[in-house]
């Protein structure tokens, strides 16, 4: 399973250091909203992305101002399973989202040309100064954004995007998915999933319009470019 964050420039897919990416089985984008769960499975037809399966399940009402992640976990699992059943999808793998404000993101500038193992160690050391909790309690991921500003005589550097989340929050989503009969293989930021959907544009073909953007963006994790 991987924690993944889609951006326009890169896909970070190793936060939990487990790599079991979806193949022919398909993948559901699972958006847990304030009032409903929406799931989407995409398919590529003649080079274009299309909605293969789409389902919705209503969630119990929450008090005003409450977060969608304050739902009872059993209710969430039941709604996810219900949305999947309504969609007709047989996919058993899922991508879910965390609120953007529950993630820590930071751009790091590091020496260029480091081997992957050394880069991972350095990112972890740098991450400690940006997190309000211990590194051991976090899930970390990163991706290369590109070369940093160059100057004559300076050591070559690269910009690296770091993302971190509390491990307990990540594992809660993993457990909810498992209770719904799904294997979580990616966890994204809801804001970045929406951004990826808007950029791709195919969500407009679904009747519910903007309400499906997050689920659509999450479902993109199941498709190769």
Tens digits of residue pLDDT in 137-192: 888 888 888 887 765 456 788 899 888 888 888 888 999 999 999 999 888 888 88
Same domain, 94 and 11: yes
Q: Are strands 157-166 and 104-111 parallel, antiparallel or unpaired?
A: antiparallel
Query: How far, in Å, are 13, 111, 115 from residue 172 at the CA level?
Result: 18, 35, 33
Phi/psi of residue 76, nearest 5 degrees? -65, -45
Same domain, 86 and 26: yes
pLDDT in tens, 70-94: 778 898 999 999 999 999 999 999 9
Same domain, 147 and 81: no
Same domain, 83 and 193: yes
| Residue 90, domain CATH | 3.30.420.40
| pLDDT of 136 above 70 | yes
Same domain, 89 and 171: yes
Q: What residues does 203 pair with on adjacent strands?
A: none
Same domain, 171 and 140: no
The count of domains in the chain is: 2
Say what the pLDDT of residue 17 is.
33
Question: Measured in Å, how far apart are the chain's first and last C-alpha atoms?
Answer: 20
The structure's pTM equals 0.79
Mean pLDDT of 96-119: 88
Q: Domain span at residue 141?
A: 104-166
Say what the pLDDT of residue 144 is.
84
| Residue 141, domain CATH | 3.30.1490.300
Q: What residues does 94 pair with on adjacent strands?
A: 28, 184
Say what the pLDDT of residue 9 is.
34
């Amino acid at each position: 399973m991987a924690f993944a964050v889609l951006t326009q420039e890169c896909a970070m897919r190793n936060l939990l250091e487990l790599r079991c990416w979806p193949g022919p089985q398909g993948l559901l984008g699972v958006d847990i909203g304030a009032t409903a769960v929406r799931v989407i499975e995409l398919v590529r037809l003649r080079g274009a992305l299309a909605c293969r399966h789409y389902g919705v399940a209503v969630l119990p009402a929450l008090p005003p101002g409450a977060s969608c992640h304050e739902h009872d976990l059993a209710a969430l699992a039941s709604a996810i399973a219900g949305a999947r059943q309504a969609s007709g999808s047989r996919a058993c793998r899922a991508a879910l989202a965390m609120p953007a404000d529950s993630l820590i993101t930071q751009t790091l500038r590091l020496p260029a040309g480091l081997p992957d193992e050394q880069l991972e160690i350095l990112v972890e050391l740098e991450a400690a100064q940006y997190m309000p909790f211990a590194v051991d309690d976090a899930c970390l991921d990163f991706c290369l954004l590109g070369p940093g500003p160059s100057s004559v005589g300076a050591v070559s550097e690269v910009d690296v995007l770091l993302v971190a989340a509390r491990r307990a929050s990540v594992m809660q989503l993993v457990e909810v998915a498992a209770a719904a009969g799904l294997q979580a293989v990616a966890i994204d930021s809801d804001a970045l999933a929406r951004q990826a959907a808007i950029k791709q544009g195919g969500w407009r073909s679904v009747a519910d319009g903007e309400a499906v953007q997050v689920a659509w963006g999450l479902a993109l994790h199941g498709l190769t470019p």
